[in-house]
Every structure is written in structure tokens, then in C-alpha cells.
Amino acid sequence: MDRVLVTGGAGYIGSHACKALKAAGFLPVTFDSLVTGWRDAVRFGPFEEGDLLDRARLDQVFATHRPVAVMHFAALSQVGESMSDPGRYWRNNVAGSLTLIEAACAAGCMDFVFSSTCATYGDQDGVVLTEDSPQHPINAYGASKRAIEEMLRDFEVAHGLRHVIFRYFNVAGADPEAEVGEFHQPETHLIPLMLDAIDGRRAGLTIFGTDYDTPDGTCIRDYVHVMDLVEAHVLGLNWLRGGKGSRVFNLGTGHGFSVREVIAQSGAVTNREVPFTEGGRRAGDCTRLVSGSSRAEAELGWRPTRSTMGQMIADAWRWHQNGHYDR
């Protein structure tokens, strides 16, 4: 069985990717530092603990498992933190990715699937973002991801590293079977924060900014179900394994939801009131990000079948009620 090295495989998206890879006939090998990931989330293949900045450890893992490809999710991803501590993001995300890419090339593992973000586009209101939209990130998180994209292109020219880059923004939902799900400490994502507030695990939700130039004054984001998202990553892996060239794909539904709209949907799905307060804007937040995915649909055959807001909240609520991790 072909092995795939999944960095960040103990995290939210990475653990779901491991489940999808196993279902597709691969053996996922999780590489994770457990700084933000969870050991309990590693359920679908071998686990190797380590830091991306540790080249010797990476070389050891490549030699032991001989993966046919890398699926790279490991990254710090909090926009607000990236604005206050950019050095941590450049060191972890960029230097860590460089170490990983160099180790992969040295091991002859030349198929690389990268988890990027629509945050590389910055604040471009009133448009549906395409893969050819200009990239002008407004926070260190987005800038670090753009830098890694450029790094991959350079390593393709120099060493033949084939890559698929996926850009997406808000990932939501959970494994419908509730084997793995979304669980961060601290939690920063809107839907799990809302579910915590509904469930009484926190005093309430804070809406950061109500004076944006949107119909209801709150930020608008495109949400994709995590299971649809990781299915695209498996398709991207098969794209590379089939001998096709490097490519960039956006993953989104083309439809954005405001914070207030998500709150309303959460109340409808759970049949509970969402307690919230209104606060000021956070540094680095864009007004509106909506990502089209026509290229992924046309070239990969990707269809986001679970990415309705109601389904994403329902699956997240099921996980929220049934599953949490212990380190």
C-alpha cells in the first residue's frame, strides 16, 4: 500500500485527510509536533512525532516510510496572532516548509499537495476570487502561505518537484461518523465558538466588527465542508500520481455567508439561541472573501456535495456533542 506523509495529520483538516486517504487506498503517515494537534486524532495510519524544523527527524521519517507523496497541512493559522507575532509565522510556516520541501526532494518524494489559503488574495471586495486573482495578503499568515507557494514553484524549476496548491478559506463541519472533528485550544473558529456558546461552554460569542461594508455589517466568508475539502486533496494527489503537471486550485462554493447569517443558521439547526455580543474589528480581517472553484470542478471533477451551511453546522454539532480529544 502506497504511503503518504501527512504533516499536521493530528490537526483538524489533516486528520480528516488521513481518513479520506485510507478510504482511497493509501496509508497515511501522520507527522505532527502535537503543539496544536491531538494524538487521539491519529486513527488511520502510523504516527511520527516531530517538528518540521528538525531536518534529521524528517530524513529519518522519509527513510523509514518511503512515502510516494507529501500532503502538507502543518501550519500556524490564527490571523490575529500572525499580526501580533509575525516572526512565529515566518519561522514555523515558511522555514518549516522549506525544511520539509528540501527533505522531500532529497528523498526523491516529488509529489507534493499543499494546503494554502484564500488569505493570500487579501481584501478584494465585490469579486469572486479565481486562481488568477492578484495575491496581496494583508496579514502574516496569508503572506507566509504565499511565500510557500513561491517556494514550491522554485523547487519545481530546480528539482522537478510536482505540486498541487489548494487555496481555501473557512473550513467547517466534521466527519459525519464523528471519528474525528474540529477541536482547538484555544478555539478561534466561528462555528465551534458558536456551538460552545450554545452549549454553555463559554459565556457567549463575540462578533468582531459590525461596521463592515456588507449588507448586515459583518464579515462575509465562503465556507467549505471539511469532507469535501479533503476529497479535493485526494483528487489532487491522484492528479499528480497520474503524471499531470503542477496546478493551483481554489476550493469554495462561490457563495459567502456573513457572521450574522451563520449565527442564524446555527440557531435553526440546533434549535437553541446563540448568545453573542458585538465587539470591534480584529486587525488583519478582510471584509469579504468568496472563492470560486470552477477549475477544480472542471479539471479534478470535484463536487462539494456537503458544503451547505445547514449540513456543515449539523455535522459539527454532532461532533461537538460526542467527541473531544485528550492529549
Under 8 Å between Cβ of 229 and 253: no
Question: Cis (ω within 30 of 0) for the bond into 186?
Answer: yes
Hey, what's the cell of 172? 467547517
Domains and CATH numbers, the chain: 3-172+223-250 (3.40.50.720), 190-221+254-322 (3.90.25.10)
3-state secondary structure of 131: coil
Integer Cα distance of 242 and 294 in angstroms = 21
Give the per-residue pLDDT at 186. 76
Whole-model pTM above 0.85? yes
3-state secondary structure of 85: coil
Give the per-residue pLDDT at 166. 98
Under 8 Å between Cβ of 175 and 227: yes
> Of 121, 141, 212, 223, which residue is the catalytic one?
141
3-state secondary structure of 33: coil
Integer Cα distance of 193 and 188 in angstroms = 7
CA nearest to 230, candidates 179, 178, 174, 183: 174
Under 8 Å between Cβ of 75 and 92: yes
Catalytic status, residue 223? no
Under 8 Å between Cβ of 114 and 234: no
Give the per-residue pLDDT at 197. 87
Give the per-residue pLDDT at 32. 98
Bridge partners of residue 208, in order along the sequence: 279
Hey, what's the cell of 43? 486513527
Give the per-residue pLDDT at 290. 85
Positions in the chain whose pLDDT score sits under 70? 125-126, 284, 323-327
User: Which amino acid is present at 37?
Assistant: G
Give the per-residue pLDDT at 327. 44
Q: At what angle do helices 96-106 and 55-65 cross, to 10 degrees?
A: 40
User: pLDDT per residue over 26-81, tens digit each?
Assistant: 999 999 999 989 999 999 999 999 999 999 999 999 999 999 999 999 998 777 78
Mean pLDDT of the chain: 92
Give the per-residue pLDDT at 324. 67
Give the per-residue pLDDT at 326. 58
Exposed / middle / buried, residue 326 (Cβ in 10 Å: 0-12, 13-18, 19+)? exposed
